[in-house]
Amino acid sequence: MPAPLPTLSPDELRRYARHLSIPEFGIDAQRQLKAGGVLCIGAGGLGSPIAMYLAAAGVGRIGLVDADVVDVSNLQRQILHGTADVGRPKLESARDRLHQINPHVQIDLHRTVFTSENAMAIAADYDVIIDGTDNFPTRYLSNDVAVFLKKPNVYGSILRFEGQCSVFAPHLGGPCYRCMAPQPPAPGLVPSCAEGGVLGVLPGLIGTMQATEAIKLITGIGQPLVGRLLHVETLSMKFRTFNLRRDPECPVCGDHPTITEPIDYQGFCGLPSQNHPTMSSSSTPDVPAITVKDLQAMQANGENFFLLDVREPYEFEIASIPGSTLIPLGQLADRLGEVPQDQKVVIHCRSGMRSAKALGLLQLEGYKDLWNVTGGILAWSDEIDPSVPTY
């Protein structure tokens, strides 16, 4: 027999008055929200509007998973955090902001990375899982855990001017994320928001949609985006809906699943296995690498080498390492003549992923003395020159 729904206090009745006046919603749906729990993975661009609107709506328990700290580059879109929060753990500023919005809501903080080792235990006590991350290992992990636990997974993704939203829930008759994307893209093929950029208001749009879907799932009102993918392109403000089908051969939710517990998602996505799926990899297997301290020592000793920066021009304008030559990764194949073959070539990007891909390209072209800078310009700013802006 299900547990009785909690009652609403006089203050809550006043707070949620605009919900209670909706005939299709009313007091029963509000009590269901109070009894419900949502796990939001990530307290950044998507996680900010998700958590804020769920707290304001009266979801009784909100879990946040994040291990990052607030950076000034976050403030353009991550509205949970303010200028005074720069340097603070995101979960601390998120907790303070959410309690300002609604003191009746329980906020669970999971200051950790969502990994194969802890994901099942973290997600088990919540009714809905929301993916607010921007990397593929965590995306597949959150999907699989939701399937294993028979919980809906509210998906959202954003890049530049476009975003999309869906609800993956095989136990409700729909597909899972793997049905839509059986294989991840090759490492470095799809840029992260940090690399490709994102319009600041876009995560507000998509995150609010994700919060809406979570509310519908908890209360049982409306028709969730199960089996449908909603895509928005903001420059023309066009919305399109695509139908999605469950794949009976899916290894996780199919008729004969072959994956029944969390796997190595870094390896599945072609990245080095590590305990930090939400961090960008600094290198890939068998890629010769040096640290930023090695690079600094080479410069100080006057060593003869070619320092290649494979980021985009707008990134180079924000920050650069002295002595570097900019050739964006997408142009490298057509500009090989600008890269000397008779000299050591040291390659860097923002964090190490694109430079590792550039190194592989140069290897195929016959270059020999190649080195990837572990951690890229982020590590240079962190360990060598703090005056170099991060983004």
For 180, half-sphere exposure in the C-beta direction (CA atoms, 13 angstrom radius) is 23
Determine phi and psi for 68, rounding to 5 degrees: -95, 170
Residue of 193, 250, 253, 269 marked catalytic: 193
Catalytic residue list contains 250: no
Question: For residue 274, which phi and psi values (nearest 5 degrees)?
Answer: -160, 175
> Which ranges constitute the DSSP H helices of the chain?
10-15, 17-20, 26-35, 47-57, 90-101, 119-123, 136-149, 177-180, 193-196, 202-219, 265-268, 292-300, 313-318, 329-332, 353-364, 376-383
- Residue 283: exposed, middle, or buried by beta-carbon count in 10 A (0-12, 13-18, 19+)? buried
Q: Is the distance from CB of 114 to CB of 278 less than 8 angstroms?
A: yes
In angstroms, rounded to a whole number, what is the distance separating the alpha carbons of residues 252 and 229? 19
Contact 229, 144 (CB under 8 A): no
Checking DSSP bridges between strand 128-131 and strand 238-243, what pairing results, if any? unpaired
Report the alpha-carbon distance of residue 51 to residue 80 in Å, rounded: 8
Classify each residue of 164-182 as buried b or exposed e, where b means 16 or more C-beta atoms within 10 Å of its C-beta: bbbbbbbeeebbbbbbbee
176 carries an active-site annotation = no
CB of 32 closer than 8 Å to CB of 218: yes
161, 72 Cβ separation under 8 angstroms: no
Q: Hey, which residues are catalytic here?
A: 193, 349
